[in-house]
Structures are given as structure tokens and as C-alpha cells.
């Protein structure tokens, strides 16, 4: 039995939906409203790893009773455990590239994109709710690192200076991806792979969130890549699971930025 | 290194003295322009991300497999490696720098250290080195690092009370990665990691240190850091 606890198909939530569609794997979807604290309900599935996961908010896969979280590793799990085409390259060098991208993009885009998205969309959404209810919901979140992602939306952390500094942290990963796509059509080797499933959901929101950094002139290879990956049947199917008109506007806190600066 | 030793892969080792900033000198930047360590060269390929590098070694070379067969166990192995790399290690190294390495490095003239920092290619690494070399950690940051080390140590103890090894019932890359981080814990964090508070971690560290590959690898260490491993001898002095 395969179940996916998922929210609107955007950023981290979009990844396993694409992977499962590539595999043509049947699964039961449990939809929850991640922007409205549904994942903190007492009956929501969890375990030690899900509580401590560094992506903080994200989808959960439950396979034969075992709980899988953290999307990059979830993609490898889907690739290894389900029938259908492998999402990992057969060549060990290319497989290394998939994992190196996952590590690098997790630390870079994974900590930047959610902040920009939350600043633009989640912050006003929360501001429209009953403040006492929001504060109570956030205060109950454990552990403290996970709570901090939500508190930052309320305590003035998201100043103009802070958001500008976060925007600046986009430059290095965007340049690295643009360069890689100038050299080949996919991120890790000659074929579509888990690296593309990992990167695409974080990239596709950037023309909206950071239009100066990512656009057809500044990053033509990324723009073309977004069109090509977006045209895949699996991506269209995954996006088709949306329950709102604008899934690309749902954001929840993601990875924290490096504490080393 | 420990992964290569476990696999029995022969390799040529190029030792870098990090406090002489060998990793930011032209000879090394020709291998890895980012100036981050470690880097591994195999044929025409360069590998610079250490944990993905471990999986590459396991995938590309013969020798005993260091990843479990079961996909769920592999997922658990990868999850814990990321937890070690991205949560545990940065806090532990902040404490280590503020107490041990930073004071030693500051014996050298500040202008020499500034010049060394200016040669670092990545801005994010320049910031981190500046913080480390000049002890620019705030009291809050250090307190938070200590809290995280204590928290992560307890989480690992909880995990190792469920299974003998990081991935489950077999030794894997997850144990290699965790040992690299954890071998010095009983010495550097004696209040957090000891036989009473974290018996499963202590037993796990000793079991790994009994492996010939671990002994062989730590024997190559050239600093006091490497000597700390002796605390894991089951019969000190025997």
C-alpha cells in the first residue's frame, strides 16, 4: 500500500508527485492544507525522522507502513522501491551528480525559495487569519527549528534588508544551474533524472518570485528548461492534482539558512 | 578515506594542511576551483561533495557493499547522513573552532590570516572562515550550537537504541559518516556523550573503532584531533 500525504503541488510537494507519475505508480493521496497547520494535527503520521527533518514542512510517503520524508531521498526511495523506469542514472558518475545537486540545491535554493514565496504569499495569508489562533498554532510546533520557520513570518524577521540579502543568495545557484544547462539538456547526464525532479519544482516559481534573476534574457537556458520539463506528461499530471487555481502560490517554510553565514 | 579503506580501494593520498590554507592554493584550486575539501579525482572526474562521494565509491568499486539492499534502509542511511552533515556537524564544528582551533590559528599574524581569507574563492566560505578564525561567534550562536549538539546527541542515542547500525541491521556508509563526526564526542562533549547517558552511541562508536579500516584510517591522522580516537579503546593501555 502506497500513500502520499501531500498539499498543493508546489516546491517540495511537487517532487514526489512527478516521480510517482514518471513511475506510473498507483497511490492514495491524502491532501492536507500545509499553509493552515493541518500537518500538526495530533493524528497526522510522524516519526523521529519526520519530526527532525531539515526541510521542516513537506510531503510524507507511507509505503507498507514505513514512513518516508525529506524529498531528495524520497525520490531515490521511489526510484529504488517501485517498478517502472529508474529515476537514477545507471552511470555512477551521473548518479553522483544527482546526489551532489541534491545536496547543493537543498542548502541553496531550498533555503531561499521558501522564504521568497512565504514573504510574498504565506505572510499575507496568515495576516488574514485570527492572530490568536495563528500564534497558538505556531507556539505548539516542535522542535524549535521547525517553529522558527513560522515565527520568522510573524516577528519582523522578513524586513526589506533581510529579503534583499536572501535574494542575493540566489545568484550563485542560479548561475551554476544556467551553466550546467548550457552544457547539456538535463542536470545530471544525458537523460532526465531525479536531479531534474529535484530542481524543477524550486526553479519554476522563480520567474514570479525573482523576476530580475530568472527570466528569458538573464537565464535563457533555465527558461527553456522550464518549458521543456513543464511539458512532460508526469509534470502536467502532478500539477493537475492542484485543488486551488494557483498552486504555485502556496508556500510553507523550508530549510534554514546555514548558521555559518 | 574510511569508505575507501572499507572497500579496499587503493588510492593516492594528497594531504592538505588546512591551517596552512593548502586548500586555497593554486595547486589545489586547479583540482577544485571552489577550494572546498575533500576532493577526489577518479579518471577525468572530480568529486567534491563528500557524502555523495561516499556513495560513488560504493557504486563504482568492487569490495563489500556499504549500502543496504532494502530501499527503506537506504533511505534511513541517507536521511541520517544529511542530519549529521547539515545539522549536527555545523554546530559541533562551531564549538570546536571557538575552543580549540581558533585560538591556535590566532597565534599567527592577523594580516597573514586576512590575506589567507582573501584567497578563498567562495563568498560563503570566506564568511565562514572569517567567523572561525577571528572568533566572530556571538554568545547566542555558541549557546545555540551547544543546545543543538546536546539535542542531536540524544536523537542519535534514541535512533541507535532502535537498531544496531544507522541504516538498520547492517554496517553502512551511514555509520562511516556518523563515526567521522562522532568519534570525538565522548572527549569533547563528555557531559552529553558517555556510558551512562548515551550507552548505545558509546557501544556503536567502539564497534566501529574495532574495524580494521577505522584503525588504519585514523593512523594516518597528523594532528591531536586524530589522537582523540584512543578514548574508544575497550581496554585503554592494553
User: CATH code at A8?
Assistant: 3.40.30.10
Distance, CA of A165 to CA of B203 (rounded, Å): 45
Whether residues A39 and A165 share a domain: the answer is no
pLDDT band at B236 (very low <50, low <70, confident <90, very high): low
Q: Does residue B184 form part of some domain?
A: yes
- CATH number of the domain bearing residue B119: 1.20.1050.10
Distance, CA of A3 to CA of A64 (rounded, Å): 9
pLDDT tens sequence across A131-143: 999 999 999 999 9
Whether residues A55 and A163 share a domain: the answer is no
Please tell me the pTM assigned to this model.
Answer: 0.96
Separation in Å, CA A76 to CA A50, A95, A182, B71, B218:
17, 10, 26, 8, 32
Whether residues A207 and A97 share a domain: the answer is yes
Q: Does residue A245 form part of some domain?
A: no
Whether residues A111 and A181 share a domain: the answer is yes
Mutate to test the interface with A, among B9, B51, B73, B75 (most CBs of A within 10 A): B75
Distance, CA of A19 to CA of A248 (rounded, Å): 18
Whether residues A148 and A26 share a domain: the answer is no
Q: Does residue B31 form part of some domain?
A: yes
pLDDT tens sequence across A237-254: 999 999 999 999 999 999
Whether residues A11 and A106 share a domain: the answer is no
Whether residues A77 and A128 share a domain: the answer is no
Q: Does residue A246 form part of some domain?
A: no
Domains in chain B, number: 1
Whether residues A11 and A113 share a domain: the answer is no
Q: Does residue A240 form part of some domain?
A: no
User: Please, which residues have CB within 8 angstroms of residue A178's CB and are 6 or more apart in sequence?
Assistant: A219, A221, A222
Q: Using CB atoms, pick whichever of B75, B86, B155 lies closest to residue A73.
A: B75
Whether residues A134 and A207 share a domain: the answer is yes
**pLDDT (mean) for B162-170:** 97
Phi, psi of A158 (to 5 degrees): -80, 60
Whether residues A123 and A221 share a domain: the answer is yes
pLDDT tens sequence across A151-171: 999 999 999 999 999 999 999
Distance, CA of A121 to CA of A126 (rounded, Å): 9
Residue that is last in its domain, among A31, A54, A81: A81
Whether residues A173 and A225 share a domain: the answer is yes
Whether residues A68 and A184 share a domain: the answer is no
On chain B, the residues whose CB falls within 8 A of the CB of A73 are 75, 78-79, 82
**Which of B180, B7, B177, B64 has its CA nearest to residue A99?**
B177
Nine-digit cell at B209? 573503532
Residue with cell 521547525: A146
Q: Does residue A238 form part of some domain?
A: no
Q: Does residue B237 form part of some domain?
A: no
pLDDT tens sequence across A15-31: 999 999 999 999 999 99
The range of the structural domain enclosing residue B140 comes to 2-232
Q: Is the pLDDT of residue B237 over 80?
A: no
How many other C-beta atoms are found inside a 10 Å radius of the C-beta of residue A67?
18
Confidence at residue A242, expressed as pLDDT on a 0 to 100 scale: 98
Domains in chain A, number: 2
Q: Does residue A96 form part of some domain?
A: yes
Q: In a 3-state reduction of DSSP, which class is residue A240?
A: coil
Name the DSSP letter for residue B100.
I
Q: How many angstroms away from the CA of A89 is the closest CA of chain B?
A: 12
Instruction: Count Cα neighbours of A107 within 13 Å in the Cβ-side half-sphere.
Output: 18
Distance, CA of B91 to CA of B149 (rounded, Å): 6
- CATH number of the domain bearing residue A180: 1.20.1050.10
Nine-digit cell at B175? 555509520
Q: Does residue B109 form part of some domain?
A: yes
Best mean pLDDT range from A153-157, A223-227, B120-124, B231-235 = A223-227
The range of the structural domain enclosing residue A66 comes to 2-81
Phi, psi of B47 (to 5 degrees): -120, 130
Q: Look at A76 and B78 and tell me if their CB atoms are within 8 Å.
A: yes
Do the Cβ atoms of B170 and B68 come closer than 8 Å? yes
pLDDT band at B238 (very low <50, low <70, confident <90, very high): very low
Q: Does residue A250 form part of some domain?
A: no
Confidence at residue A190, expressed as pLDDT on a 0 to 100 scale: 97
Q: pLDDT above 70 covers what percent of chain A?
A: 100
Distance, CA of B54 to CA of B74 (rounded, Å): 13
Amino acid at each position: 500500500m502506497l500513500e502520499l500525504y501531500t498539499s498543493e503541488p508546489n516546491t517540495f510537494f511537487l517532487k514526489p508527485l512527478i516521480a510517482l507519475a514518471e513511475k506510473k505508480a498507483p497511490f492514495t493521496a491524502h491532501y492536507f492544507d500545509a499553509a493552515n497547520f493541518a500537518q500538526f494535527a495530533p493524528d497526522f503520521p510522524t516519526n523521529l525522522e519526520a519530526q527532525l527533518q531539515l526541510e521542516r514542512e513537506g510531503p510524507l510517503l507511507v509505503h507498507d507502513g514505513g514512513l518516508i520524508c525529506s524529498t531528495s531521498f524520497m525520490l531515490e526511495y521511489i526510484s529504488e522501491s517501485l517498478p517502472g523506469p529508474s529515476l537514477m542514472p545507471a552511470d555512477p558518475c551521473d548518479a553522483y551528480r544527482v546526489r551532489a545537486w541534491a545536496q547543493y540545491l537543498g542548502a541553496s535554493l531550498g533555503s531561499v525559495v521558501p522564504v521568497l514565496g512565504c514573504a510574498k504569499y504565506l505572510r499575507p495569508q496568515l495576516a488574514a487569519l485570527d492572530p490568536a489562533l495563528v500564534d497558538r498554532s505556531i507556539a505548539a510546533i516542535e522542535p524549535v527549528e521547525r517553529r522558527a520557520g513560522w515565527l520568522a513570518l510573524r516577528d519582523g524577521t522578513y524586513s526589506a534588508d533581510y529579503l534583499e540579502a536572501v535574494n542575493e543568495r540566489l545568484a550563485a545557484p542560479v548561475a551554476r544551474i544556467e551553466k550546467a544547462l548550457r552544457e547539456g539538456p538535463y542536470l545530471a547526464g544525458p537523460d532526465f533524472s531525479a536531479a531534474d525532479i529535484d530542481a524543477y519544482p524550486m526553479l519554476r516559481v522563480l520567474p514570479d518570485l525573482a523576476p530580475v534573476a530568472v527570466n528569458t534574457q538573464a537565464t535563457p537556458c533555465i527558461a527553456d528548461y522550464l518549458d521543456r520539463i513543464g511539458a512532460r506528461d508526469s509534470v502536467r499530471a502532478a500539477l493537475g492534482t492542484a485543488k486551488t487555481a494557483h498552486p504555485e502560490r502556496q508556500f510553507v517554510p523550508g530549510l534554514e539558512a546555514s548558521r555559518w553565514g | 578515506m574510511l569508505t575507501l579503506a572499507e572497500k579496499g580501494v587503493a588510492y593516492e593520498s594528497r594531504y592538505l594542511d588546512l591551517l596552512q590554507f593548502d586548500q586555497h592554493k593554486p595547486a589545489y584550486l586547479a583540482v577544485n576551483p571552489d577550494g572546498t575539501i575533500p576532493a577526489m579525482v577518479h579518471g577525468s572526474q572530480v568529486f567534491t561533495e563528500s557524502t555523495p562521494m561516499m556513495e560513488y565509491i560504493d557504486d563504482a568499486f568492487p569490495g563489500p557493499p556499504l549500502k543496504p539492499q532494502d530501499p527503506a534502509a537506504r533511505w534511513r542511511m541517507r536521511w541520517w547522513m544529511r542530519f549529521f552533515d547539515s545539522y549536527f556537524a555545523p554546530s559541533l564544528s562551531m564549538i570546536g573552532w571557538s575552543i580549540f582551533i581558533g585560538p591556535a590559528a590566532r597565534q599567527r599574524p592577523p594580516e597573514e590570516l586576512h590575506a589567507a581569507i582573501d584567497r578563498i574563492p567562495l563568498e560563503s566560505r570566506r564568511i565562514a572562515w572569517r567567523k572561525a578564525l577571528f572568533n566572530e561567534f556571538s554568545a547566542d550562536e555558541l549557546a545555540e550550537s551547544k543546545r543543538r549538539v546536546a539535542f542531536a546527541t540524544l536523537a542519535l542515542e534514541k535512533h541507535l537504541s532502535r537498531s544496531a547500525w544507522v541504516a538498520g541491521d547492517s554496517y553502512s556508509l551511514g555509520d562511516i559518516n556518523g563515526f567521522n563526526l562522532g568519534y570525538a564526542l565522548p572527549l569533547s562533549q563528555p557531559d552529553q556523550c558517555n556510558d551512562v547517558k548515551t550507552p548505545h552511541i558509546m557501544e556503536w562508536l567502539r564497534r566501529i573503532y574495532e574495524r580494521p579500516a577505522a584503525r588504519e584510517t585514523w593512523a594516518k591522522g597528523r594532528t591531536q584531533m586524530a589522537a582523540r580516537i584512543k578514548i574508544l579503546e575497550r581496554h585503554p593501555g592494553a
